[in-house]
Chain A
Amino acid sequence: MKESSTALPPGTTETYSGLHKWLQRGLFVCLAALVLEGSFTFPFLAAWYGWPTLSLVEMCSELQKVRYSDDTRECVFPYPLFAPAEAAAQKTAKDDWGVQPKPQYKRIGFRDLVKIHDERVARQAAANQERVQQ
């Protein structure tokens, strides 16, 4: 096999050396990005949605409350194995229905779930207080 004197990697001929060089760089970028995404996505999401102030179960409940616009929804954990889907008969979700449905739940900002959770707990505590006093 006639090889050029420059150190071309095995499999790369002179014609395609430029192409392979740039592909290698692109592949490296993708690999690095996937590695970083794979490693840091879950910790970042956990921090954004209120961990560790909220436990994972509390985070689950808060997300459900937002998703179905229903403050009474709670996350059942552990979910029974062969039970029906947890939101099977829900009626509270807000959507603009049509051939391209548009959800109407609120956007959740950085650690907003903690704020929402605390405000609701305070509201419920205040409501309980009033009931007790009456």
Chain B
Amino acid sequence: MSILGLQGTFDTSSAYDGHDQKSRQAQRQADKWMLPGAVMMTTAILGPIGFPLFLKGVALQRKAAAAGLSVRPLICTLLGYLVIMDSGLNSIGWSLDLIAHHSLINRTLVTAWGNMFDAGYFWHYNELWIGGTGAPGEKSWEIALVPTVFCMRLAAAIGFLQMKRWGHQWLIVTCWFGVIYWVGYVANMTVFADLRYNHVVFPVLGWWIYDIFYITPFLAIPYLHTVNREIFTD
């Protein structure tokens, strides 16, 4: 580290420390905007507030990178926050259905979503003793995935954003989990397609256009398997 060769080793290491500290600070500053923004966007309702906060964070990070500071690679930021949003949105939606099925929000806007895209969330809604969706298999997917894979993905994404090795490893595991649930969930929808699509506003195309953007596991897997693991620390 002889970047500033003028004075002794002490000064060059302090220059490195100074750079390192500035980089960490810049990253933390950016994350202070991005994380609340992303969390708000996953609530859907607070989305219009979260979006500009998130963009401000991205702008801060790009400015820091342009200024030569060592911030997280942009693709890691994108991936991490995308996984947070993906698992967050899924968790919010399905937790509402598991626990808050008789709230006004669910009985209006969620069933409205169901009526428009996926009648699994409209047909016989709140008729089961457990409340919420009555579509075949749907409740089982919710109970299986919300406390397991979506929580795990969220935790792994946070570790990944911190550039931790366990974050990287567990994001790989949970993204492969994601492959399983995509395969199973789509198969279930196809078998019971009559129920899921009959008389919805936008049959088939509506659901696919809406939900195709949740394919983060498939985009994450190639990156996670080809990234140089040295950038992640213990």
**Direct A/B contact, Cβ within 8 angstroms:** yes
Which residues in A have some Cβ–Cβ distance to B below 8 Å?
1, 9-13, 15-16, 19-20, 23-24, 26-31, 33-35, 37-42, 45-46, 48-49, 56-57, 59-60, 63-64, 66-67, 75, 77-79, 83-88, 90, 93, 95, 100-109
What 8 new A-B contacts, CB under 8 Å, besides A38-B42, A79-B107? A27-B75, A27-B78, A31-B85, A34-B213, A45-B112, A101-B194, A101-B195, A106-B199
Residues of A within 8 A of B222 (CB): 19, 23
**Assembly CA distance A79 to B44 (angstroms):** 23
- Once the chains bind, are A57 and B104 in contact (CB under 8 Å)? yes
Any chain A CB within 8 A of the CB of B157? no
With beta carbons under 8 angstroms apart, the residue of B47, B79, B228 that contacts A38 is B47
Q: Which of B7-15, B123-131, B143-151, B175-183 contacts A (4 or more CB under 8 A)?
A: B123-131
What 10 A-B pairs have minimum CB-CB distances, sorted nearest first?
Answer: A39-B47, A33-B213, A79-B102, A87-B127, A11-B231, A9-B73, A38-B47, A16-B226, A27-B78, A45-B112
Q: How far is the CB of A118 from chain B (nearest CB, A)?
A: 18
Q: How far is the CB of A46 from chain B (nearest CB, A)?
A: 7
Residues of B within 8 A of A63 (CB): 107-108, 111-112, 115, 122
- Once the chains bind, are B42 and A45 in contact (CB under 8 Å)? no
**Assembly CA distance A57 to B109 (angstroms):** 11
- Once the chains bind, are B123 and A13 in contact (CB under 8 Å)? no
Knowing A1-B230, A27-B75 are in contact, say whether A102-B198 is a contact too (CB < 8 A): yes
Knowing A60-B104, A102-B198 are in contact, say whether A35-B51 is a contact too (CB < 8 A): yes
